[in-house]
Structure 1
């Protein structure tokens, strides 16, 4: 599926309270992520898709936007309302959106 056909929003347009799906790897997640994000690494998404709600839009994020575009394309293909977050967590960090880490250190985008 062409990733260019995936709906996309800028990080500042992700609504508060939206379902935010982070598809980065474990080390990236531990370094820093959005506080309310749900972590399902891209490689596990097909097996764990039942954890993703179908009754609301799903905003998909990765480090820079490429993996999340693929994830959003696949989710859209199988019936979810999935929207890619353009620029990923790199743009999230630059925009000053809230972040937390799992490491006990200051959050950053790995």
Structure 2
């Protein structure tokens, strides 16, 4: 199991144990993390799982992928260089301790 930290805009933090192979969105929804809706179920079709990857982790998660992920981020609010869709981040051992910050609101 890999620990993932989700940090709300107000600083409230949720640490969850996630199974390798699932997405960061799936782990958040399974553990009831507020602010991650995942309305499309992980198809990168809604941007309701928009997160900011802490700069210490962006090298491991990579930036938003060209194509569908970047296109969907155009619908999110307050997009930054470290913005990702949590449904496109696959949990693996090397992401243990990953910190994902949540925007103030999702669409």
Give the TM-score taking structure 2 as reference length: 0.30
Give the greater-gyration-radius structure (CA): 1
Higher helix share: 1
Give the TM-score taking structure 1 as reference length: 0.30
Higher strand share: 2
